[in-house]
Amino acid sequence: MIHTAHVHHRIHKYQMKSLYRTMQEASESENRSRNSWLCFKVKAAAVL
C-alpha cells in the first residue's frame, strides 16, 4: 500500500517536472521570437 503510494507520488512528480519543462521551453521560444522581432525593429530603425 505504502509502496504503491510512493510510486504514484514519484510518477506525479515526474509528470509535473515534464509539464514545467514544457512550459519553460514554450516561454523561451516565445521570448526568442520576441527578441528577434525587437532586434529586427532596432536594425530597421538604425537603417532608417
Angle, CA 18 vertex, CA 16 and CA 19 arms, to 5°: 60
Q: Which residues contact 46 (CB under 8 A, 6 or more apart)?
A: none
pLDDT at 18: 92
Distance CA 25, CA 12 (A): 20
Residues of the chain with pLDDT under 50: none
pLDDT at 1: 61
pLDDT at 7: 83
Structural domain boundaries enclosing 7: 1-48
How many folded domains does the chain comprise?
Answer: 1
pLDDT at 39: 82
pLDDT at 5: 81
